[in-house]
Amino acid sequence: MKILKIIVVSLLLTTNQAFAIENGVPPDDVITLSELAEKLEQKLKKPVVVDKNYAKNEVQIKLERALEDRGNLLTELSINGYTAIDTEDYIELIDVRRSRMSAIPVVDESKHYYPNQWVTKIITVEKACAYKILPIVRPLVPQYAHMAVTGEESLVISDRYANVQRLSSIIENIDKETKDKAGCNKKS
Protein backbone atom coordinates (compact mmCIF):
# COMPACT_ATOMS: atom_id res chain seq x y z
CA MET A 1 0.00 0.00 0.00
CA LYS A 2 2.81 2.40 0.92
CA ILE A 3 4.59 1.70 -2.40
CA LEU A 4 1.36 2.36 -4.30
CA LYS A 5 1.00 5.75 -2.58
CA ILE A 6 4.58 6.66 -3.50
CA ILE A 7 3.99 5.69 -7.14
CA VAL A 8 0.75 7.73 -7.31
CA VAL A 9 2.41 10.79 -5.76
CA SER A 10 5.38 10.47 -8.14
CA LEU A 11 3.07 10.24 -11.14
CA LEU A 12 1.08 13.28 -10.00
CA LEU A 13 4.23 15.33 -9.51
CA THR A 14 5.61 14.28 -12.88
CA THR A 15 2.28 15.03 -14.57
CA ASN A 16 2.00 18.44 -12.90
CA GLN A 17 5.57 19.34 -13.86
CA ALA A 18 5.01 18.21 -17.46
CA PHE A 19 1.78 20.22 -17.65
CA ALA A 20 3.54 23.29 -16.27
CA ILE A 21 6.43 23.05 -18.73
CA GLU A 22 4.09 22.35 -21.66
CA ASN A 23 2.07 25.49 -20.81
CA GLY A 24 5.09 27.75 -20.39
CA VAL A 25 4.96 27.82 -16.60
CA PRO A 26 8.38 27.13 -15.09
CA PRO A 27 8.29 24.33 -12.51
CA ASP A 28 9.01 25.09 -8.88
CA ASP A 29 12.56 24.63 -7.66
CA VAL A 30 13.24 22.56 -4.57
CA ILE A 31 16.11 24.18 -2.73
CA THR A 32 17.46 24.17 0.81
CA LEU A 33 17.28 27.36 2.84
CA SER A 34 21.09 27.57 2.92
CA GLU A 35 21.22 27.32 -0.90
CA LEU A 36 18.55 30.01 -1.13
CA ALA A 37 20.56 32.18 1.28
CA GLU A 38 23.62 31.87 -0.98
CA LYS A 39 21.64 32.90 -4.06
CA LEU A 40 20.07 35.83 -2.21
CA GLU A 41 23.48 37.00 -0.99
CA GLN A 42 24.76 37.02 -4.57
CA LYS A 43 21.73 38.94 -5.80
CA LEU A 44 21.34 41.40 -2.92
CA LYS A 45 25.02 41.88 -2.02
CA LYS A 46 24.03 41.62 1.65
CA PRO A 47 24.71 38.75 4.07
CA VAL A 48 21.82 36.29 4.43
CA VAL A 49 21.81 34.00 7.46
CA VAL A 50 19.85 30.87 8.32
CA ASP A 51 19.62 29.16 11.70
CA LYS A 52 21.58 25.89 11.54
CA ASN A 53 18.42 24.03 12.62
CA TYR A 54 16.68 25.13 9.40
CA ALA A 55 19.61 25.34 6.94
CA LYS A 56 18.98 21.92 5.39
CA ASN A 57 15.19 22.32 5.25
CA GLU A 58 13.90 22.33 1.70
CA VAL A 59 11.45 24.82 0.28
CA GLN A 60 9.56 24.49 -2.97
CA ILE A 61 9.65 27.88 -4.65
CA LYS A 62 9.75 29.59 -7.99
CA LEU A 63 13.36 30.68 -7.55
CA GLU A 64 13.52 33.09 -10.47
CA ARG A 65 10.38 34.83 -9.25
CA ALA A 66 11.64 34.93 -5.65
CA LEU A 67 14.88 36.58 -6.74
CA GLU A 68 13.03 39.24 -8.78
CA ASP A 69 11.77 41.33 -5.88
CA ARG A 70 11.37 41.36 -2.12
CA GLY A 71 7.58 40.98 -2.19
CA ASN A 72 7.82 37.84 -4.33
CA LEU A 73 10.49 36.41 -2.03
CA LEU A 74 8.33 36.97 1.05
CA THR A 75 5.33 35.35 -0.65
CA GLU A 76 7.34 32.31 -1.76
CA LEU A 77 8.81 31.92 1.73
CA SER A 78 5.41 32.41 3.40
CA ILE A 79 3.89 29.58 1.38
CA ASN A 80 6.60 27.34 2.84
CA GLY A 81 6.24 28.57 6.43
CA TYR A 82 9.27 30.89 6.45
CA THR A 83 9.97 34.59 6.18
CA ALA A 84 12.88 36.97 5.73
CA ILE A 85 13.64 39.51 8.44
CA ASP A 86 15.71 42.44 7.22
CA THR A 87 18.11 44.12 9.64
CA GLU A 88 20.66 46.86 9.01
CA ASP A 89 23.51 44.37 8.64
CA TYR A 90 21.93 41.19 7.27
CA ILE A 91 18.78 39.32 6.24
CA GLU A 92 17.68 36.36 8.33
CA LEU A 93 15.57 33.51 6.93
CA ILE A 94 13.45 32.16 9.77
CA ASP A 95 10.45 29.99 10.52
CA VAL A 96 7.31 32.18 10.73
CA ARG A 97 6.71 30.93 14.26
CA ARG A 98 9.75 32.98 15.35
CA SER A 99 8.69 36.15 13.51
CA ARG A 100 6.85 37.84 16.35
CA MET A 101 9.96 37.60 18.52
CA SER A 102 12.27 39.05 15.87
CA ALA A 103 13.30 42.61 15.11
CA ILE A 104 10.33 43.37 12.88
CA PRO A 105 9.42 46.97 12.08
CA VAL A 106 6.69 48.90 13.84
CA VAL A 107 4.30 50.19 11.18
CA ASP A 108 4.99 53.73 10.05
CA GLU A 109 2.12 54.81 7.76
CA SER A 110 4.56 56.86 5.63
CA LYS A 111 6.52 53.73 4.66
CA HIS A 112 5.80 50.88 2.23
CA TYR A 113 5.44 47.29 3.43
CA TYR A 114 4.93 44.08 1.46
CA PRO A 115 1.76 42.05 2.14
CA ASN A 116 3.76 39.11 3.57
CA GLN A 117 6.23 41.24 5.52
CA TRP A 118 6.06 40.81 9.28
CA VAL A 119 5.30 44.00 11.20
CA THR A 120 4.01 45.18 14.56
CA LYS A 121 1.26 47.77 14.77
CA ILE A 122 -0.26 49.54 17.76
CA ILE A 123 -3.94 50.28 17.20
CA THR A 124 -5.64 52.82 19.44
CA VAL A 125 -9.41 52.89 19.87
CA GLU A 126 -11.40 55.93 20.98
CA LYS A 127 -14.78 54.59 22.11
CA ALA A 128 -14.49 50.81 22.23
CA CYS A 129 -12.75 48.94 25.02
CA ALA A 130 -9.61 47.27 23.71
CA TYR A 131 -9.96 44.27 26.03
CA LYS A 132 -13.50 43.66 24.69
CA ILE A 133 -12.27 43.75 21.09
CA LEU A 134 -9.45 41.26 21.70
CA PRO A 135 -11.62 38.10 21.93
CA ILE A 136 -13.50 39.16 18.79
CA VAL A 137 -10.42 39.58 16.58
CA ARG A 138 -7.99 37.11 18.19
CA PRO A 139 -9.30 34.15 16.13
CA LEU A 140 -8.39 36.13 12.98
CA VAL A 141 -4.64 35.88 13.57
CA PRO A 142 -2.62 32.69 13.20
CA GLN A 143 -1.35 30.94 16.33
CA TYR A 144 2.20 32.08 15.65
CA ALA A 145 1.22 35.77 15.43
CA HIS A 146 0.76 37.97 18.49
CA MET A 147 -2.04 40.16 19.76
CA ALA A 148 -2.33 41.84 23.16
CA VAL A 149 -4.11 44.69 24.91
CA THR A 150 -2.23 47.55 26.52
CA GLY A 151 -4.50 49.48 28.85
CA GLU A 152 -8.07 50.24 27.82
CA GLU A 153 -7.35 51.91 24.50
CA SER A 154 -4.63 50.05 22.57
CA LEU A 155 -4.02 46.70 20.94
CA VAL A 156 -0.61 45.48 19.76
CA ILE A 157 -0.55 43.13 16.78
CA SER A 158 2.46 41.35 15.24
CA ASP A 159 1.60 39.53 12.02
CA ARG A 160 1.95 39.80 8.26
CA TYR A 161 1.27 43.34 7.04
CA ALA A 162 -1.79 42.34 4.97
CA ASN A 163 -3.45 40.76 7.99
CA VAL A 164 -2.50 43.65 10.28
CA GLN A 165 -4.17 46.06 7.85
CA ARG A 166 -7.29 43.87 7.69
CA LEU A 167 -7.47 43.73 11.48
CA SER A 168 -6.95 47.50 11.71
CA SER A 169 -9.93 48.01 9.44
CA ILE A 170 -12.11 45.63 11.46
CA ILE A 171 -11.09 47.29 14.75
CA GLU A 172 -11.75 50.78 13.33
CA ASN A 173 -15.25 49.67 12.26
CA ILE A 174 -15.97 48.19 15.69
CA ASP A 175 -14.78 51.43 17.28
CA LYS A 176 -17.01 53.55 14.99
CA GLU A 177 -20.05 51.42 15.83
CA THR A 178 -19.47 51.71 19.58
CA LYS A 179 -21.92 54.18 21.14
CA ASP A 180 -19.95 55.29 24.20
CA LYS A 181 -17.03 54.29 26.36
CA ALA A 182 -19.13 53.34 29.39
CA GLY A 183 -18.15 50.12 31.09
CA CYS A 184 -14.51 49.94 29.97
CA ASN A 185 -13.23 49.79 33.53
CA LYS A 186 -15.32 46.73 34.31
CA LYS A 187 -14.19 43.53 32.61
CA SER A 188 -17.21 41.50 31.69
User: Which of the listed CATH numbers 3.40.50.2300, 3.30.1370.120, 3.40.50.300, 3.40.50.720 matches domain 104-177?
Assistant: 3.30.1370.120
Q: Is-contact 141 157, C-beta < 8 A?
A: yes
- At residue 1, the pLDDT reads 61
Q: Do domains 2-99 and 104-177 have the same CATH topology?
A: no
- At residue 25, the pLDDT reads 47
How does DSSP classify residue 118? Answer: E
> Domain locations in the chain?
2-99, 104-177
Q: For residues 130 and 187, what is the distance between their CA atoms, to the nearest angstrom?
A: 11
Q: Is-contact 93 82, C-beta < 8 A?
A: yes
Determine the longest span between alpha carbons in the chain, in angstroms: 65
Q: What is the residue-level pLDDT of the chain in tens, covering all 188 positions?
A: 666 555 555 555 554 455 445 545 456 788 899 999 999 999 888 999 998 989 899 998 888 888 888 999 999 999 999 999 998 899 999 999 988 888 899 999 999 999 999 999 999 998 888 888 999 999 999 999 999 998 778 999 999 999 999 999 999 999 998 887 656 765 54
Class of domain 2-99: alpha beta
pTM, to two decimals: 0.79
- At residue 16, the pLDDT reads 47
